[in-house]
Amino acid sequence: MIAIAGAGLAGLSAACHLDGLEHAVFEREREAGGLCRSLERDGFSFDLTGHLLHLRRPHIRDWISSLLGDQLRESSRHAFIHSHNRRTPYPFQVNFHRLPPAVVRECLTGFVNAWTARRIDRRQGEPAHLSEWIERTFGAGIARHFMTPYNRKMWCRDLDQVSCEWVSWSVPQPSLHEVVRGAFGVEGREFGYNPRFLYPRRGGIRCLPDALAERAGEIHLGVAVESINLRSRRLKLSDGTNPRFDALISTLPLPDLVQRCEGLPEAARRSAAGLRWVRVVNVNLAVRGEVAPGAHWIYFPESDYVFYRVGVASNFSQGVAPHGCSALYVEVSQPSEEPLVADLTQRVVADLHRAGILEPQHKVLFSLPVVIDPAYVIFDRHRRECVPALLSLLRDRKVHSIGRFGAWEYSSMEDALMAGQGAARVLKASLTHVPA
């Protein structure tokens, strides 16, 4: 039997691709979906922060279309950065022409200087940390006015403590030509991994895990994996049972998985205990009135706003809020080791008013705060050294640790679907292979 721990997208995708092999999914929550659940209240649907689908691989796109058909709608991104009391279209690095002239000059000359330095010294080694990568790639002005404060807020630490192996796919890196055109307000091509996205017409992102769960086979909800005995190959589950497994696909956060495994070397436990992450407090707001018309989400780099991003889900799906109302998701990042900030919702609402997102005619009907913990894994030298070794140690014991937190990475819904498919393929090949 193949046991799957966790019914998020990675676990559900694995289960859907294990057809023909005996398998069972164990999920500690009372519903499937993991981070892709949506909460319903009084006609509003709130994701655990906005979850927009960016499907870059044709085979995953085809699969999801076959599951959800016309339930998905495609939209073009309308995202902004709020700074200097105005909105700059995303991405900042090709749109800063709307900022005060001194800021435009600083951003443009900084970019040109950084570009020139790269041309003169082509042997610049790997940047040591995120701070250096930002300065080298975008120059001092873009760093100072957006990249550095935004990332510091999101990662909750100085950027010399964060490494930069995750940036290649997620941060748009325009050419000199594109930055100069942008500095003069000339519109260019679409940038970034998300210029268009898919989102369900009704009910929030949960329709995706719901559709997968129907095809995933045996799912045990409300049953947590408490420990994993790697010698007897038995799970200890919260319902008191001890099923035996031939292989385990785990989507639990890697440090948690390692602590729950009996039979791993002590050094592995110590190493896993050194992994770091941040949590996100997602304050969902139900509002009467139309909020920030035309904006899908807005980034907030400045430190006098408590949040780093605010999204208006009802601006990309009218099906998530009653007529005449708006559904907002607000994201506040916090170090996982610190206590939760008290009175966060009041602070969020006050800052939304100050930013001009909530206006006097708007009425907050209710708030629904959710803590996502872990939310973003910290990329640092320890992660780089220890995660590949831990994953390989587990794989040798037929434990495939996959997904955003299983592989301890910065990845999307599509990546989670791919990871589940990949793990199923590996196991199908190994368990059905008959030596000649």
Ligand X SMILES: Cc1cc2nc3c(=O)[nH]c(=O)nc-3n(C[C@H](O)[C@H](O)[C@H](O)COP(=O)(O)OP(=O)(O)OC[C@H]3O[C@@H](n4cnc5c(N)ncnc54)[C@H](O)[C@@H]3O)c2cc1C
CA distance 345 to 330: 10
CA contacts within 13 A on the Cβ side of 264: 26
- Give the 3-state secondary structure of residue 318: coil
CB-CB neighbours of 61 under 10 Å? 15
3-state class (DSSP) for residue 335: strand
How is residue 231 written in tokens? Answer: 């010698």
Amino acid code (one letter) for 118: R
Tell me how many degrees the CA angle 106-80-82 measures, rounded to the nearest 5.
60
- Report which DSSP code applies to 367: E
Tokens 């031939």 found at:
246
How far apart are the C-alpha atoms of 325 and 318, rounded to whole Å?
9
Rounded (10°) CA dihedral 48, 349, 82, 362: 100
27, with CB counted inside 10 A (0-12, 13-18, 19+), is: buried
CA dihedral 230, 231, 237, 243 (to 10 degrees): 110
CA atoms of 93 and 230, how far apart (whole Å)? 50
Rounded to an integer, what distance in angstroms lies between the CA atom of residue 433 and that of residue 91?
49
Phi, psi at 229, each rounded to 5°: -90, 110
Using CB under 6 A, list all residues that contact ligand X.
Answer: 5-11, 26-29, 34-36, 49-52, 54, 224-225, 251-252, 280, 331, 372, 375, 403-405, 411-416
For residues 408 and 275, is the Cβ–Cβ distance under 8 A?
A: yes
Residue with tokens 């930055």: 179
Nearest alpha carbon to residue 367 among 381, 347, 396? 347
HEC letters along 187-256? CCCCCCCCCEEEEECECCCCHHHHHHHHHCCEEEECCCEEEEECCCCEEEECCCCCCECCEEEECCCHHH
